[in-house]
Amino acid sequence: AINDQFADTDAVIVIGANDVLNPAARNAEGTPIYGMPVLNVDQAKQVIICNFDLKPGYAGVENPLYSRGEGVALCLGDAKATLSNLMDRLDHAESAPAASTASSTSSATSSATPLQSATEVLHNAKSVIIVPGYGMALAQAQQEVKQLADKLAKGGADVKYAIHPVAGRMPGHMNVLLAEANVDYDSLYEMEAINDQFADTDAVIVIGANDVLNPAARNAEGTPIYGMPVLNVDQAKQVIICNFDLKPGYAGVENPLYSRGEGVTLLIGDAKKTLSDLIDTL
């Protein structure tokens, strides 16, 4: 009765559903849900997903909606708390619309696309730390990283680069790539020199990095990264993650930042294109 209506619907709000709206059911041959009729949620203009995390549903099939980016807002965490927060924000917007548009960087609305949310965060940020990783090398996005940094600096932001000693596939990998893009060497900071600055930083932009900033390294005993020093990205006020997908890094350890929700914006896809879109939007 409703499946044909999704394409003309302004917004869909998903509350803890996965398999029943997973578009992979249409083409993921060999999976448990292949051929199963699903709700055409992905055809709506905007999709707001209020799920606990980004793990696959009961059938174990990854949902491409989670990594689509454009037109999908991820509001992760306990659904009861998420919905209460959403209602509070709606009440605030109705009673004080002028105040809501001039709100702080943490108030990017749930109805905004991830790109719009990231743009709002960076527009208001006075201090920014960029964290490059191997994904930047794969996407060959160092020139776009430099362009974004220049745009932010021109807008008055203090921009720094945080370099983890094992980022990439060889020592100094990030330094070499950034030097190719004419990034000022004085803007590059080793982990020991910058780690204490994350807590006072307005926004961190992650470019294809995962293990080197995975907070699980502090407490996930028995994993390959347990005890490894990591960049304190999770302590920043806002984190924008420009990674290709939400899969674990080389060490195979899930990154809790991906499912934290509050204060984290996921811009999933090819980093080169993501950064270009971000630069254009800014």
CB atoms within 10 A of CB 60: 11
* From 19, 42, 202, 211, the catalytic residue: 211
Tokens of 73: 């807002």
User: Annotated catalytic, 211?
Assistant: yes
> Sheet harboring 158-163: ordered strands across?
188-190, 158-163, 127-132, 203-207, 238-242, 264-266
Query: Which amino acid, residue 254?
Result: E
The answer for residues whose C-beta is within 8 angstroms of residue 273's C-beta and 6 or more apart is none
Q: Give 237's DSSP letter.
A: S
Query: Which amino acid, residue 47?
Result: V
CA distance 217 to 209: 14
- Specify whether the backbone of 76 is left (phi greater than 0), alpha (psi in -120 to 50) or beta: beta
Tokens of 183: 């990034």
Tokens of 81: 């708390």
Active site residues: 211
